[in-house]
Structure 1
Amino acid sequence: MAALLRAVPRWRGPAAWGRPRHGLWCCSEQDPSRWVASRPPTMKETPSGTETEKFQMVYRFDAIRAFGFLSRLKVAQTALTVVALPPGFYWYSQGLMTLNSLCLMGGVAGFAFAMLCWMSHFFRRLVGILYVNELGTMLQVAHLTFWGWRQDTYCPVADVIPLTETRDRPQEVFIRIQQYSGKQTFYLTLRYGRILDRERFTRVFGMLDVPK
């Protein structure tokens, strides 16, 4: 996974953007409100009142777009291998395919499905962008869905466990964002991601010894 992160070129965009209105992960430098993709982000557990609040971007992981594409590609590849199984059974029943070939096809489909489950479990928890509202009370986490599209999850800052209180170290490839309520755990990479607003980031996660 670390090798894959190093292979993805790091795109240097604007230091900070406003809260996304629609679309995916990047926007035009001329007009931050215009996003490249047209698909709106799925809002999950949206607290009442957050629609009118202004959120400030504090962290960004540029390679999240590549991981989203990889996730969609894996879903398509798994679907193709599974769809090929019924014709394989038919060809075997007609004597057009050997048992070894049918078992190989089933093994490939099973392996593809297992890899999809593992990758989806990780990708759905990988943080792409972090936002904090102006009052510093709400954390907005932009991550991926099972299908590789963007999804926003809101967490009260008071429920977020500071990284200084966990055993994870900023130098590790991935560190966990956990909640006292134990609702959901996300994965954050400070080695390959960028902290855009260090002051707000510190208020949420505590003072960390990370490169500027």
Structure 2
Amino acid sequence: MAALLRAVPRLRGPAAWGRPLHELWFCSGKEDPKRWVGNRSPTLKEKPPSEENEKFQMVYRFNAIRAFGYVSRLKVAQTALTVVALPPGFYWYSQGLMTFNSLCLLGGIAGFALVMLCWMSYFFRRLVGILYVNESGTILRVAHLTFWGWRQDTYCPVADVMPLTETKDRPQDLFVRIQQYSGKQTFYLTLRHGRIVDRERFMQVFGTLDRLK
């Protein structure tokens, strides 16, 4: 995973990955979250009704999240194609057109693809792409990936977010956890490869960064 992070170019310009995906992920935080470029809209999860017109400011972003989204969608497609090939494989084996060893190899590839999809999906769905905080500093908005590799926003009360100073994670680690006192969900962000956009608001949620060194 560390090698993959180093291999992903940390490009900031919109031309590098295409304008639609750039605007899809990296809105300024002042725009209406319902405005999306392209055919797909984000799935909003756990959004409080009172936050419908709330304005959010971006405090952290991880540029490589777009590449992880591509990888996630590619893995889903690859796994689907592998699994779909199983029924024809059984048919060809029954007709004597495929050997038993070839059928076992096909089944092994399909099983391995499913296991890898489950593992990658578990991690990618918890990898933070962008963090926002509302103007009053009470709601944290976490932009991450869905199982299908598209964006999803999850809203958490800042009071329920555990400061990094209270965890055992260190900022120099590849990933640090965003945990909640309620234990609802855990996310992962990388301070080594991500960028803190608004240091002051970030510290209001996660604690003083100087104490994390």
TM-score normalized by the length of structure 1: 0.90
Deviations 1:3-28 (A, max 9, x none): 101111112259xxxxxxxx731459
Q: Is the 8 A contact 1:24 1:149 kept in 2?
A: no
Structure 2, gaps ≥5 residues long: 15-22
With over 3 angstroms needed to count, the CA separation of the structure-2 counterparts of 1:210 and 1:77, relative to structure 1, is farther
What stretches of structure 1 move > 4 A for 4+ residues in a row? 32-36
- Residue 2 of structure 2 is matched in structure 1 by 2
Instruction: Structure 1: state its 5+ residue gaps.
Output: 15-22
Matches within 5 A, 1:1-212: 1-12=1-12, 24-26=24-26, 36-209=37-210
Q: Is this contact kept in 2: 1:171–1:210, CA < 8 A?
A: no
Deviation for aligned residue 1:210? 9.3
Alpha-carbon deviations, 1:46-74, whole Å to 9, x = none?
10121201000000000000000000000
Aligned residues: 201
For 1:8, the aligned partner's letter is V
The DSSP-based 3-state class of the residue aligned with 1:105 is helix
Is 1:170–1:209's contact at 8 Å kept on the other side of the alignment? no
SS in 2 for 1:49: helix
Question: Which structure shows the higher helix fraction?
Answer: 2
Aligned CA RMSD, in angstroms, stands at 2.1
- Counterpart of 1:18 in structure 2 is none
* TM-score (norm. length: structure 2): 0.89
Q: Deviations over 1:93-118 (max 9, x none)?
A: 00000000000000000000000000
SS state of the match for residue 208, structure 2? coil
Paired with 2:89 and 2:168, the residues of 1 have a C-alpha distance of 50
The amino acid across from 2:24 in the alignment is L
Change (3 A) 1:27 1:50: closer
Secondary structure class of the residue paired with 2:177:
strand
Q: Which amino acid aligns with 1:144?
A: L
Q: Per the alignment, in what secondary structure is the counterpart of residue 142 of structure 1?
A: strand
Following the alignment from structure 2 to structure 1, what is the Cα–Cα distance between the partners of residues 85 and 149? 23
Q: Aligned partners of 2:141 and 2:25: how far apart in 1?
A: 14
CA–CA distance in 2 between the matches of 1:93 and 1:87? 10
CA contact (8 A) 1:160 1:179 kept: yes
Q: Matched residue of 2:92: which SS? A: helix
Distance (whole Å) between structure 2 residues aligned to residue 83 and residue 194 of structure 1? 41
Distance 1:82 1:111, change over 3 A: same
Would you say the 8 A contact 1:27–1:36 is kept in 2? no
Q: Distance in 1 between matches of 2:199 and 2:39?
A: 30
